[in-house]
Amino acid sequence: MLPKILISDLNKRRERRIYEQLERRAAGRYEVFQLTDEPAETDFDLILCPESKTADHHKMSPDAVILTWEQEFKSPLLVSEIDQRLTEQIETWRQREHSLPEGKNAGLALVFCFDHNLKERWVPAYLKALQNQGVMAIYLPLMPLYRVPDLEEHQVGPQLTDLLLSLDQVESAISRNIGHYLIMHKHGYHTFRLPQQADDLISCPPHLLRKLLLEIKDYISKLADPALALIDCEGLGLETTVRLAQLCDILYIDAVTAESGRGIVARRELAKFLAALPSSVNFRVLNEVKL
């Protein structure tokens, strides 16, 4: 389905001119509409309008991206510039669709990599790409603290261990609201206040880690904006990692090509890993993911 673009301007002659020229340029990339006297029944994906009409158009299409002539474009208005801006927005949507589970506005992704150097380069780039796509990125590192990239320690506020304790009890006064445990990292993504003991997370019972992922999945499914939680596993047993991956929408793995003994073992373990996944998990080779 092509993105639906609404053109709205107080100057109706100019609105008509922009509409007609964009319609010729669309070339199967998007559909262009003008408002008629009839009530609008179309849910638009993007609306171009004057600032004075923003509130009205938001009521009509609450989920639409709204770009105003005054804020987004220079005067005089050039149709080539408008078309370029639409092209950029559509490309952002396409990238977002690839990052999120098909047909969903939120999801869990787990990254499991035998090449730690590759993962250390890929994870920050992936989190940055999610933010550029307008996706709320939540990063959960399940690894020893000394392996957490760009670790920021926050002593004030509830920590992830408090949440795990709550999940281990049938009744608890400790909040299970994931939002209470999230902080904004200096690089712009969300993460958790991690425990002070370096091995707390990798020594956590697997059933509690599974409960944690289910709580995160429930939390992001209720958010209004697109969201993806990235679970970064390192140092956990393979069986535990597989059980966590079974709860996720996407699994990112690396393609092991080395012919050394280590490479052969890695491919054998990876084959077991993939064989244990349900069909609902979409696995992707992170080496081939375009960020």
Q: Taken in order 241, 246, 250, 253, is the CA torsion positive or negative?
A: positive
Instruction: Compare 265 and 84 and report the one with higher pLDDT.
Output: 84
Read off the pTM: 0.71
pLDDT at 158 over 90: no
- 227 in helix, strand or coil? strand
Kindly indicate the confidence band of residue 143, based on its pLDDT and cuts at 50, 70 and 90.
Answer: very high
How far from the centroid of its chain's Cα atoms is residue 38's Cα? 37
Q: Taken in order 246, 248, 250, 254, is the CA torsion positive or negative?
A: negative
Under 8 Å between Cβ of 135 and 277 = no
Domains and CATH numbers, the chain: 4-97 (3.40.50.11370), 102-288 (3.40.50.300)
Kindly indicate the confidence band of residue 39, based on its pLDDT and cuts at 50, 70 and 90.
Answer: low
Mean pLDDT score, 157-171: 82
Kindly indicate the confidence band of residue 214, based on its pLDDT and cuts at 50, 70 and 90.
Answer: very high
Mean pLDDT score, 168-180: 74
The vertex-126 CA angle with 124 and 127, nearest 5°, equals 65
pLDDT at 27 over 60: yes
Kindly indicate the confidence band of residue 274, based on its pLDDT and cuts at 50, 70 and 90.
Answer: confident
pLDDT at 219 over 60: yes
pLDDT at 291 over 70: no
Give the per-residue pLDDT at 114: 81
Partner residues linked to 228 by β-bridges: 107, 137
**Model confidence over 71-106: pLDDT tens digits?**
989 888 899 999 999 988 888 777 776 778 877 889
Kindly indicate the confidence band of residue 268, based on its pLDDT and cuts at 50, 70 and 90.
Answer: confident
Share of the chain above pLDDT 90, in %: 44
Under 8 Å between Cβ of 29 and 87 = yes
The Cα 193–Cα 45 span in angstroms is 36
Q: Which range scores top for mean pLDDT: 71-85, 172-186, 246-260?
A: 71-85
Q: Specify the amino acid at residue 39.
A: P
pLDDT at 5 over 80: yes
